[in-house]
Structure 1
């Protein structure tokens, strides 16, 4: 049974797939909820022994509003040295 950080090298590629789907007008989200049922899910996918799934990306056409995303100011999410301490580089 794979450990919690097993497969973590896939996440940069997963992020790129999320960005690419967005650029195509599709919606997606990363989910790892299935890992709590790893053996069962791997069997459903028909994965061979020793191969495991670490992320699932449901991809589809979004319903409703799917416009441009907004971003808040960096000062609200970037800190220096510790949580809540303003970063002086902003």
Structure 2
């Protein structure tokens, strides 16, 4: 059940990151989900390192760090994907 939850949260974080980034992203949904999952892990690690990993109530700081990490990783994943595909595709 833990992996299923990680995939769902990664999917949501990845989609939110795609919405935040300007322009059209061409990366596939599996890459977006993977970058969202990794962003969640990185965000949790940063929150733990600065002491806000568990707070009473909703952990807005941790969730914000997860989303920020996901935005950076989706952007980097998009750049890597497009460079492997041979540049930007014309629509």
What TM-score results when the alignment is normalised by the length of structure 1? 0.32
Q: Which has the higher contact order (CA 8 A, sep 6+)?
A: 2
More strand by share: 1
Return the structure number with greater helix share.
Answer: 2
Which structure's CA Rg is the greater one?
Answer: 1
